[in-house]
């Protein structure tokens, strides 16, 4: 943490250590040199650097391969694609379609075997799908808060087990209302454990497996890492993983720059960085809502990312001499078609923003042809997945109006677990 204080892992679920200046806690692992344990399944091949107590069933893992199609088109000699999603021919088996599975398989594996509480997650879509899959497959109690307006995002390739309970904010309510509701639920009973977001080391180190998978393929730490960011958790995780790889000693020096991207017109990180401001620059509420409504890649519209906190996104981008680029809907759409034509797989709107930022970086000379570049495709293959599988839905157990008072929320959530 920022203070340099080192704590002991007492087997709890520590999210912060009550420092005067808040900072992200980092994990220190016993093994400085990571073993690539190919005998283990999915992302648990990187278990040496995951804060886990057990291994769950059916884990997926980000795959990485060297690009030919897009690389040649852009004149890049060493472009590596980290693919998260559904692409069975390449061994990519994230059946919820995005890299949120990396965090779910790590966070849930940090819970002890005899966990008798419920994990609480508020999400607008991708995170919800990932946690539902992992908890349902592994009989872990999950209490999920999702806006009713986002129910379409809750599709699954297998039926959802009864250990997963969904509470919806009534139509009209949004992601922020569901966060507020989940906070009230957590306060209502000790059985409810907050998932924790970027503060949870299990979430970040799970996402860090994207970079570990790239390093395992490349043989060293890449020079540049491209990713589209919403909360920025994935990018902080990649930065932390690169530092760990450097101190391992076998992966070369760490000169890795973070080149991140957001979907215009909602680009608060681009603006905060341009102003070199550790204080996160937010537009007023009406403007934010209007901008967010215009953005295609909605997963990139987090209004409260871990920007200013020590060890957060501002530090990650500044320390790596990185940058954050804005990409319009049109540019992202063109990048998606180009990627599909050249690499042979469809990608999600957020991943298209990252591809477009790479194209922009090449055009502007921000990267050069001989650099080793890792491009994180954070989601893909979803259309094929949906075409080729019967899909199952998750019905809400309870629907609560936005602005429900704490009492009603408490009654609703406790009645689900008697
Ligand atoms: C969540 C998400 C992102 C952004 O990741 P953060 O860690 O929140 O910055 C990018 N792409 C996809 C597909 C996502 O689901």
Pocket of ligand 1 (CB under 6 A): 98, 100, 126, 228-234, 299, 348, 350-351, 378-379
Looking at residue 234, its pLDDT comes to: 97
Span 100-200+391-415 CATH architecture: 3-Layer(aba) Sandwich (3.40)
Report the residue among 24, 202, 234 best suited for mutation to probe ligand 1: largest number of ligand atoms under 8 A from its CB.
234
What rounded mean pLDDT belongs to the chain?
Answer: 94
- Domain 63-95+201-385, what fold? Rossmann fold (3.40.50)
Looking at residue 22, its pLDDT comes to: 80
Task: Measure 250 CA to ligand 1 centroid, in angstroms.
Answer: 29
pTM: 0.95
Q: Which residues of the chain have pLDDT under 70?
A: 1-4, 9-13, 17-19
For residues 66 and 217, is the Cβ–Cβ distance under 8 A?
A: yes
Task: Measure 417 CA to ligand 1 centroid, in angstroms.
Answer: 31
Looking at residue 17, its pLDDT comes to: 67
Looking at residue 219, its pLDDT comes to: 98
Task: Measure 411 CA to ligand 1 centroid, in angstroms.
Answer: 33
Please tell me the residue having the least CA distance from ligand 1 atom 1.
299
Ligand 1 atom nearest to 237, measured from its CA: 7
**Nearest 5 degrees, angle CA 121-CA 127-CA 132?**
70
Instruction: Render pLDDT for 103-138 as a digit per residue (tens, 0 to 9).
Output: 999 999 999 999 999 999 999 889 999 999 999 999
Looking at residue 6, its pLDDT comes to: 73
Task: Measure 28 CA to ligand 1 centroid, in angstroms.
Answer: 25
Looking at residue 148, its pLDDT comes to: 94
Task: Measure 377 CA to ligand 1 centroid, in angstroms.
Answer: 10
| Residues forming CATH 3.40.50.1100 domain(s) in the chain | 63-95+201-385, 100-200+391-415
Cα–Cα distance between 124 and 148 in angstroms, integer? Answer: 9
Looking at residue 15, its pLDDT comes to: 75
Looking at residue 12, its pLDDT comes to: 62
In the beta sheet, which residues pair with residue 258? Answer: 225
């Amino acid at each position: 943490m920022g203070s340099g204080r080192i704590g002991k892992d007492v087997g709890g679920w520590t999210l912060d250590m009550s420092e005067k200046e808040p900072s992200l806690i980092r994990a220190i692992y016993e093994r400085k040199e990571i073993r690539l344990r190919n005998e283990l399944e999915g992302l648990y091949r990187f278990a040496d650097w995951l804060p886990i107590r057990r291994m769950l069933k059916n884990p997926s893992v980000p795959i990485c391969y060297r690009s030919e199609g897009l690389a040649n088109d852009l004149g890049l000699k060493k472009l590596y694609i980290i693919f998260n999603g559904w692409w069975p021919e390449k061994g990519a088996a994230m059946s919820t379609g995005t890299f949120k599975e990396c965090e779910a398989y790590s966070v849930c594996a940090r819970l002890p075997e005899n966990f008798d509480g419920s994990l609480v997650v508020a999400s607008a879509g991708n995170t919800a799908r990932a946690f539902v899959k992992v908890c349902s497959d592994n009989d872990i109690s999950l209490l999920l808060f999702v806006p009713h307006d986002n129910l379409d995002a809750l599709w699954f390739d297998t039926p959802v087990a009864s250990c997963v309970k969904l509470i919806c904010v009534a139509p009209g309510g949004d992601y922020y209302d569901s966060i507020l509701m989940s906070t009230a639920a957590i306060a209502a009973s000790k059985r409810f454990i907050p998932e924790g977001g970027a503060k949870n080391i299990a979430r970040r180190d799970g996402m860090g497996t994207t970079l570990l998978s790239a390093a395992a393929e490349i043989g060293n730490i890449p020079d540049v890492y491209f990713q589209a960011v919403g909360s920025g958790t994935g990018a902080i995780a990649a930065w932390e993983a690169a530092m760990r790889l450097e101190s391992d000693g076998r992966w070369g020096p760490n000169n890795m720059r973070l080149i991140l991207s957001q979907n215009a017109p909602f680009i608060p990180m681009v603006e905060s960085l341009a102003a070199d401001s550790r204080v996160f620059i937010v537009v007023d509420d009406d403007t934010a809502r209007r901008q967010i409504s215009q953005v295609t890649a909605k997963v990139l519209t987090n209004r409260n990312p871990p920007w200013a906190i020590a060890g957060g996104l501002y530090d990650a981008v500044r320390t790596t001499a990185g940058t954050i680029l804005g990409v319009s809907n049109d540019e992202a759409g063109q990048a998606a078609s180009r990627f599909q034509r050249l690499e042979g797989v469809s990608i999600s709107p957020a991943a298209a923003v990252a591809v477009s930022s790479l194209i922009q970086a090449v055009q502007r000379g921000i990267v050069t042809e001989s650099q080793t570049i890792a491009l994180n495709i954070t989601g893909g293959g979803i259309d094929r997945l949906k075409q080729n599988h019967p899909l199952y839905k998750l019905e809400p157990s309870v629907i609560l109006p936005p602005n429900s008072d704490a009492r009603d929320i408490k009654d609703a959530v406790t009645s689900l677990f008697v």
